[in-house]
Amino acid sequence: MSVPSPALKTDHMILRGGRPLEGEVTLRGAKNALPKIMVAALLSGERCTLRNVSRIADVSIVSEMIVAMGGEVSSPEPDVLEICAANLRPMERSVLKEFSGKSRIPILTCGPLLARFGDAPVPSLGGCRIGSRPVDFHIRALQELGATLHDEAGNAHLTCERLTGNKIRLDYPSVGATEQVILAAVRAEGVTELSNAAMEPEIMDLIMVLQRMGAIISVDVDRVITILGVKELKGFDHSTLPDRLEAASWACAAIATNGKIFVRNAKQYHMMTFLNRYRQIGGDFRVTPDGIEFWREREKLRSTALETDVHPGFTTDYQQPFVIALTQAEGVSIVHETVYEQRFGYVDALNRMGAKIQLYRECLGGLKCRFGQRNYKHSAVIVGPTPLHGAEIDIPDLRAGFSYVIAALAAEGVSKLTNTGLIERGYENLVAKLRGLGAEIVE
C-alpha cells in the first residue's frame, strides 16, 4: 500500500469570519517528531513500525527520500508506516539534489549515513523562512565526533572511519543539532556527553524510540544528554506523541473566535507553559483522559508580556497563533522572540486586518537574547482589543499561515489566503477540521 500523503492540495482559501469555532478536532503524531523517528529507522537493518502517523508533507518527503535511497516504506494502515532500511544505499547526488531545499529533515541523515557507510552528503536546507537557520552547530558537532568535512565545488560531504564519542557543548540548545548529535552518537565508539542540549518533548520521543532500538541514552535535568554508543540497533514499534503545537494552535483559535474546541489526544504534560499563559490572558481549559477542551473564559481578554524560549519555556511555535489572541486582549501586550530573529514577518498583514502591532529591534524582555543590538525586529508591542476585518494575504510560513486562518475567522468579512499549501507541512486535514468546527470556507 502506498505511503499517505497530505490530503490538502489547495494553494488558496477564501474564508468568511465572524463565527465562533466550536466542536472537536483530533491530533495525530507530532510534525516535529515523526520525520526524525523515520530517520532513526535508517540506523537499523530491521523492520520499524511507526504509529499515529499524520498525513503531512514532511512525512511524505522523508518517505520518498528513504525509498530513493533503497529503503522500503509502506503504509499497511492509514496512520501506520513500516520502514525497512536493510538495503539502504549511500545517498547519491541526484537524491540529495531532489530533496535538498524541500525540508529541514535531510540534514539529520548525516549521522545514520556516516554510521552505515562512512560517507554523508550535506544537504542545503528547506523549511520555513523565519530566520537564517544555519547548520553550523550540526557540522561542528559531527566534526567533534570525528567526521571530516569535504567541500568540493559546493558539494559538501562528510566522511569518517567510525565516529568516536566526545564531549560536545552546543552554543545554543538547538533542537536539530541536539537530534543530530543523538542520531550520530548512538552508533559511535564510546561515550558522548552533550551539554546545553534542547529537551523538547519531541526529542524525548526520539530518545525513547532509540532506547527501544537498543541505544543507551540518559537525560539529566541540566540539559545534559549522555549517549553510550552501541554497535547495532534493532527495529522498533512506536506510537508517536501527539502534536502539542497543533493543540496550542486550536486553543488559540478557540479563544480568538470566542468558541470552544475539544482537542482529542492533547496532553497536559507537554503543554504546561502554554496552559498557564492561556489561563492568564483569560482562556480556560478542561483536561480529560482523552484530550483538552479550550474556550474563552473572560469576555475581555487580558494583555500580557512574554518571551519565547526553548522548552520548557514558551515555545516559539506557539508565538504566532498566540499573538492573534493578544490582538483581542485589553491593553498593551509585549512579545520578545528569542529563538528566531525574523519570526514577526507576518505582522504587516495583521496590521492591514486592523491589528495594532509595532515591532522593535530592542529586546523588550529580560532574557539574554542573541538578537539584541543587531538589526532584527524581534520584539512586538500589541495594543488591543482591535476588531479585525478581512484581507488578501500571502502566507510566508507554516505557523504564520495557521495564524492568518485564525485571524480571518475572527475577523468580520471575507479573507483570501494564498500559498496555503505551506500549512500542509504541519496541519493534517486542515480544511476538513475547519469545516467540522463550523468555519465558513467559501472556496
What residues are annotated to the active site? 128
Could you tell me which residues come within 8 angstroms of residue 224 by beta carbon, excluding any fewer than 6 positions away? 193, 194, 195, 197
Amino acid at 325: A
Minimum Å gap between C-beta 167 and ligand EPU is 18
**What element of type H or E holds 274?**
helix 272-280
Minimum Å gap between C-beta 246 and ligand EPU is 9
CB-nearer residue toward ligand EPU: 257 or 320? 320
Residue nearest to ligand EPU (CB): 176
Q: Decide: 296 and 254 in contact? Cβ < 8 Å.
A: yes
CB-nearer residue toward ligand EPU: 251 or 414? 251
Minimum Å gap between C-beta 30 and ligand EPU is 9
The total of other beta-carbon atoms located within 10 Å of residue 312's CB is 12
Minimum Å gap between C-beta 56 and ligand EPU is 11
Phi-psi region of 58 (alpha: psi -120 to 50; beta: other; left: phi over 0): alpha
Helices (H), 118-243: 136-144, 175-185, 201-213
Minimum Å gap between C-beta 328 and ligand EPU is 22
Residues that bind ligand EPU (CB under 6 A): 31-32, 104, 128, 131-138, 172, 174-177, 198, 245, 315-317, 339-340, 398-399, 426
Separation of alpha carbons 326 and 340, rounded Å: 20
Separation of alpha carbons 132 and 147, rounded Å: 24
Could you tell me which residues come within 8 angstroms of residue 332 by beta carbon, excluding any fewer than 6 positions away? 303, 381, 382, 383
Strand partners, 121: 157
CB-nearer residue toward ligand EPU: 31 or 260? 31
Beta strands 379-384 and 329-336: pairing type?
antiparallel
CB-nearer residue toward ligand EPU: 260 or 399? 399
Minimum Å gap between C-beta 245 and ligand EPU is 6
CB-nearer residue toward ligand EPU: 263 or 301? 263
CB-nearer residue toward ligand EPU: 176 or 282? 176
Q: Tell me how many degrees the CA angle 72-36-419 measures, rounded to the nearest 5.
A: 95
